Structures are given as C-alpha cells and as structure tokens.
Amino acid sequence: MLRSIRFLPVILVAMTSAQAQNYDESKVPAYTLPEVLKTVSGKEIKNKNQWEKTRRPEILRLFENNIYGQMPRSLDSIKYSVVSEDKQAMLGNATLKEVAIQVFRNQKSVRINLTLFIPNKRSGPVPVFVLINNRPKSNTDPTRQKKSEFWSAEMVVDSGFAVAAFHVSDLAPDDKEKYAEGVLQMYPEQLSADNGMKAIGAWAWGASRVMDYLETDRDINAKKVIVVGHSRGGKASLWAASQDQRFAACVTNCSGNTGAALARRQFGERITKINTTFPHWFNNNYKKFNDNENELPVDQHMLIALIAPRPVYATNASNDLWADPKGTYLALKHAEKVYGLYGKKSSLPENPPAIDQPLPKAPMAYHNREGEHNMTTYDWANFVTFARSF
C-alpha cells in the first residue's frame, strides 16, 4: 500500500505527459475552428475589400497580441554593405555576395549576415529563395566546402534561382536566457509588454530587413522573394510572410505547432509543451492558452489565410507526427476560402495526398515526404517546381 502511494506521483506525471502528446487520430477531440470569414463582432466577410479593410487587419492583430508579438517598425537607419563578392563561386556557376545588413536604433544596432548566391546564367534579375536558418551555420557554408541538403544551394542555382540565407542568432539567440541579446536590445519596450516580440518575431523581423536589402540589389527580382523556413524557422517564415506582403510566397517546412498545424487538434506537440520548452519563442499572452487551445481567438489556418492571395507551400515528413501532418493539411484547406475571395483556386484535394505524392502548385502546395523531421534536396526540388508555377 505504502509503496503504491509513493509511486502515485510518478504515475500521475507519466499520465500528464501522455495526455500532452497524442499520436492517436481517434483521440483528437471535437473542435470548432474560429471562422476566418467572420469578424469578432459577427460580421460576415463576403469579398476581398471587406477582407482587406476589416478582417485581415483584425486577424493580424489577434496573432500579434496573442501569439507572436508586435512587429516594431521604427528604426533610425539601415545600412547595407557587400563585404565580399566572388563572381566565380560554385565552380563558376554563381556569384556569391556576402552582405552585412546593419540596423540602428537608440544607439544600439544589429548586424544580419546574408549569404547570397546568384546564378551566373541569367538574362535579368532573378527570383530568390531566402532561408531563415535555425540550424548550425555550417548548413549554409558560403565557401561550399561543406554542403548540406538542408540548403540545397547548388541545385537551386542550377535551376535558375538565387538562394540566400541568414542565421537566426543574428537576430535573437535561440536560448531562453539569451534571446534578448539581439534585436530586442533595440526595442527594450517589447520585453515588458505581454504582447511584445520574442525570438520567433525577431527572426521574422530579420527576414523583412533582408527583404529591405533585396529591394536594392539589381540582380534580384524583388517581386519574387520566397521566404523559407524549417520547423521553428518555418513558424518564423509564416509569420514573416503574413506580416510583410512584399514576400511573394512562403515555404513552411515541417513547421508543426504554432506553425502550419491546427492547434485545436491537440495532436503531437501542444501549446503547453512548446511554451514550456521554448518560453522565449512566443509572447507572454500565449501562455494563457496552455491546455486551453479552444479559447484562442485564432487557429493556424488563419495565419495561412493572411498570406493570401500569395502562394504558400506547407510540407511534412511521414515520421514527424510531432508536427501533425494531417493538421497541417487541414489548415491549408481551411484557408482556401480566403484565396477564393481573390479568384485563386486551390487544387488541393479533399484528403491529404499519399506519402511522396507532392502537390507543388501555387497557390496552395503541400507534400508529405517519406522520412524524418528535416529539409532535404527532395523538399527543395519541389520548392523549385512550386516557384515555377507562379
């Protein structure tokens, strides 16, 4: 008797964590998603003007206030310098530009180091993929001594696209003790606000500064900049594209919870878990939704809807149930009606496609790759097909 009482807390802890991570489709609770085309006050949205004037800004504020935090816009100055250029990079196939983007505010500054390869075979400005790199910097090695599938730069360049990357640590170290040692030094007021920007917001903010630079680079077609992110970087790429309509399209690879997957399904990673493990990613208000998904005034289909009518590509990997492949597909499907307001017809079928049956066509693209939580040449090859479809 005594022994079982002693073990009771252990059993309870085990039960709580099992509840926090459901992988069983039959245990997905019944849920009702917030209506993307109905305002908080109950007004139906019937056309794109109403969407753009009323509902879109309302949803953007809801995400800002409850999840990702504010996106500070004021700055004192921004300076770009090409610190090195190699016209014979990638065995002569590309021009490498290493660009320092320096932003100044209130006597503080951040420096974003952008690595950019531009195909030498080009007849004018080229479209570009920009990766928000959340993995070690060796994945985006400018010298190309190290090559990683995570950033299949040669393949992208050979396909006629420029490819760029910057590292999240330039904006906010991915560390709950140190995340404020970057952009947030310029915006200390964000730290004391419950809807203040945190790390994911800072990474998305960085993507917009990269966009500022790309608009000045004559070799780049700034009307076709595709922001790409994997996992936590994919949460940031979605937020960047939702916020900043200069991005022509968004790729969100295996982004899962608080990325492209519906929170209310409570499948795989849940809000409590993400907020506990990574308290520095989302704003303070988001913690109110721990074990309380149904109280959120939004769900992730609405984040995708903010990107409309611009193309979006969400992906999963078959063994990465943590990121909820089905919930990701459903989020895309539930965003379709906003694309519809623009006369953009999604060609996604009712049910998710089989593993390794990519649907890489704009405006809404999806695939579930066989394998693990990662971004590979298979994924990138499909992103190229996607980028050629619009």
Q: Which residues are known catalytic residues? A: 231, 373
Residues within the interface to ligand GTR (CB under 6 A): 134, 231-232, 256-257, 269, 274
Residue number of the CB closest to ligand GTR reads: 231
Residue 216 CB neighbours (<10 A)? 11
Shorter beta-carbon distance to ligand GTR: residue 201 or 256: 256
> In angstroms, what is the minimal distance from the CB of 342 to ligand GTR?
30
> In angstroms, what is the minimal distance from the CB of 278 to ligand GTR?
7
> In angstroms, what is the minimal distance from the CB of 319 to ligand GTR?
13
> In angstroms, what is the minimal distance from the CB of 322 to ligand GTR?
6
Helix or strand or coil: residue 94? strand
Shorter beta-carbon distance to ligand GTR: residue 152 or 237: 237
Cα-Cα-Cα-Cα dihedral sign, residues 258, 262, 268, 273: positive
Pairing of strands 77-88, 220-230: unpaired
Shorter beta-carbon distance to ligand GTR: residue 134 or 315: 134
| Distance in angstroms (rounded) separating the CA atoms of residues 230 and 161 | 19
Question: 63 to each of 79, 258, 263, how far by Cα in Å?
Answer: 30, 10, 13
Shorter beta-carbon distance to ligand GTR: residue 257 or 283: 257
Q: How many residues does the chain have?
A: 390
| Distance in angstroms (rounded) separating the CA atoms of residues 257 and 262 | 7
> In angstroms, what is the minimal distance from the CB of 269 to ligand GTR?
5
> In angstroms, what is the minimal distance from the CB of 10 to ligand GTR?
24
Shorter beta-carbon distance to ligand GTR: residue 96 or 251: 251
> In angstroms, what is the minimal distance from the CB of 162 to ligand GTR?
25
104 membership: H or E segment, kind and range: strand 94-105
Shorter beta-carbon distance to ligand GTR: residue 99 or 274: 274
| Distance in angstroms (rounded) separating the CA atoms of residues 67 and 232 | 14
Helix or strand or coil: residue 97? strand
Q: Do residues 300 and 261 make contact, with C-beta atoms less than 8 angstroms apart?
A: yes
Shorter beta-carbon distance to ligand GTR: residue 64 or 269: 269
| Distance in angstroms (rounded) separating the CA atoms of residues 364 and 240 | 17
Shorter beta-carbon distance to ligand GTR: residue 269 or 299: 269
Contacts of 256 (CB under 8 A, 6+ apart): 231, 234, 235, 268, 269, 320, 322, 323, 324, 328
| Distance in angstroms (rounded) separating the CA atoms of residues 183 and 69 | 14
Given the structure tokens 């022509």, which residue do they identify? 248
> In angstroms, what is the minimal distance from the CB of 230 to ligand GTR?
7
Tell whether omega for the bond before 57 is within 30 degrees of 0, i.e. cis: no
Helix or strand or coil: residue 167? strand
Query: What number of H helices and E strands is found in the chain?
Result: 12, 9
Q: Can you say whether residue 42 is alpha, beta or left, with left for phi > 0 and alpha for psi between -120 and 50 degrees?
A: left
